[in-house]
């Protein structure tokens, strides 16, 4: 049975690799087209043909961007399925087909509707962000400041601080729309965050185990869970400059939490230990804003929060929210003991930066 599962999962992983390679090729072509369009928009070309070209590009962009996410989502789902079957072979290999089928059926919690992220923490009443957007009139110096920080963002990208540059440009663009950040990228770039998340996730799983055991009466029991950090769903983490200049300037302090859906399943044979299955996600949240009282140095330029916060106040930039959720992870372990470090698989960290904006070594056109 174990050999059959291994053959199936190898084929699944090969398919995942082909999907990701195809997605990467599409993204590289898309990026080249985006660079060409950007050069055109910065040129003196005008007239009806330019308008038609920009309208056509907007249509293509609207179609391509969701496709990348869809392909990656399919690849990640297939990868999780392969991991689930590998886990079945590892845990139930000695029980044969019956054990593997029991694992598959019990762990088939709906991936099409993964656990939802908890609501963001309530906004502090004071000390968070600037005055209301557009509450003051801009002066010539404000416009100069705006253009200066576009150049600062360009400089940050050149030296590899790509996320800091992107977040700064989004602030200066002034839409105020929330943007996505990949928690798995934060885990990759911030080793201290990775270690803290690993420990917090272990505690989260142990709390789930105890809760399920308390309600277990010999029949399957399924529940949803949200992390609890001393009464709050969220815990704060600070990306210091020593850990990563990119995330120090791109986020600074942010919050993280876990959600999960778990099930305790009776054993196949009476007298054996029930099994716990957990599907969990890591979530991150931040508000990109510039309140007074702090200062940083970006690309050799000292910047006070008051300077950048004023751009929000005069309507030339706008604060926004940053959030993201990891892929859904599957874990299984016997219910009678605390899960060991070998039973809790770390959240997968994949490096998908090649050729994209977040790849410091990518070609620039």
One domain, residues 92 and 68:
yes
Note the pLDDT of residue 83: 67
Across the chain, how many H-helices and E-strands are there? Answer: 9, 9
Q: Which two tokens stand for residue 219?
A: 């029949």
Of 89, 108, 127, the position where a domain reaches its end is: 108
User: From CA 189, how far away is CA 192, in angstroms rounded?
Assistant: 9
What are the structure tokens assigned to 154, written together? Answer: 């360009």
Report yes or no: 343 and 292 within 8 Å, Cβ to Cβ: no
Same domain, 75 and 141: no
- Residues 204 and 277 grouped into a single domain: yes
Residues 6+ apart with CB under 8 A from 22: 71
Say what the pLDDT of residue 89 is: 59
> 58 and 14 in one domain?
yes
Q: 26 and 171 in one domain? A: no
Q: Do residues 212 and 348 both lie within one domain?
A: yes
- Strands (DSSP E) contained in the chain are 179-180, 221-226, 235-238, 253-265, 275-288, 295-298, 301-304, 320-325, 329-334
- Is the domain of 39 the same as that of 175? no
Is 364 within a domain?
Answer: no
Tally of domains within the chain: 2
* pLDDT confidence of residue 210: 94
Q: Which residues of the chain have pLDDT under 70?
A: 1-9, 16, 20, 23-24, 27-28, 30, 40-41, 43-48, 51, 54-70, 72-73, 75-77, 79-80, 82-130, 291-303, 340-343, 350-365
330 lies in the same domain as 224: yes
Which of 77, 108, 139 corresponds to the end of one domain? 108
Q: Do residues 8 and 31 share a domain?
A: yes
Q: What is the CA radius of gyration of the chain?
A: 24
- 55 with 183, same domain: the answer is no
How far is Cα 152 from Cα 117, in angstroms, rounded to an integer? 34
Q: Supply the pLDDT for residue 68.
A: 59
| Structural domain of 271 | 118-359
């Amino acid at each position: 049975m174990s050999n059959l599962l291994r053959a199936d999962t190898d084929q699944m992983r090969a398919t995942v690799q082909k999907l990701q390679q195809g997605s990467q090729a599409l993204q590289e072509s898309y990026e080249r087209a985006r660079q060409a369009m950007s050069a055109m928009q910065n040129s003196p070309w005008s007239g009806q043909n330019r308008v038609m070209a920009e309208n056509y590009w907007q249509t293509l962009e609207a179609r391509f961007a969701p496709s990348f996410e869809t392909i990656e989502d399919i690849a990640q789902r297939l990868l999780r399925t392969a991991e689930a079957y590998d886990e079945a072979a590892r845990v139930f290999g000695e029980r044969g087909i019956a054990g593997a089928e029991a694992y598959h059926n019990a762990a088939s919690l709906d991936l099409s509707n993964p656990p939802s992220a908890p609501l963001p923490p309530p906004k502090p009443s004071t000390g968070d962000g600037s005055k209301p957007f557009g509450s003051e009139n801009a002066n010539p110096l404000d416009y100069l400041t705006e253009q200066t920080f576009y150049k600062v963002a360009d400089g940050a990208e050149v030296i590899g601080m790509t996320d800091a540059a992107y977040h700064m440009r989004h602030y200066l663009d002034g839409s105020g729309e929330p943007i996505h950040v990949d928690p798995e990228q934060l885990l990759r770039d911030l080793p201290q965050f990775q270690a803290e998340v690993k420990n917090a996730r272990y505690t989260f799983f142990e709390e789930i185990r105890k809760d399920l055991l308390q309600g277990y009466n010999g029949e399957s029991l399924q529940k949803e869970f949200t992390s609890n950090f001393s009464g709050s769903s969220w815990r704060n983490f600070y990306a210091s400059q020593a850990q990563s200049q990119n995330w120090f300037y791109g986020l600074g302090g942010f919050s993280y939490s876990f959600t999960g859906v778990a099930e305790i399943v009776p054993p196949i044979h009476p007298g054996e230990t029930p099994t716990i299955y957990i599907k969990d996600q890591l979530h991150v949240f931040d508000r990109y804003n510039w309140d007074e009282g702090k200062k940083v140095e970006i690309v050799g330029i000292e910047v006070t929060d008051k300077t950048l916060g004023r751009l929000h106040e005069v309507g030339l930039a706008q604060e926004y929210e940053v959030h993201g959720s990891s892929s859904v992870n599957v874990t299984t372990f016997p219910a009678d003991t605390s899960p060991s470090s070998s039973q809790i698989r770390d959240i997968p960290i994949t490096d998908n930066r090649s050729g994209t904006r977040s790849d410091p070594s990518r070609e620039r056109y």
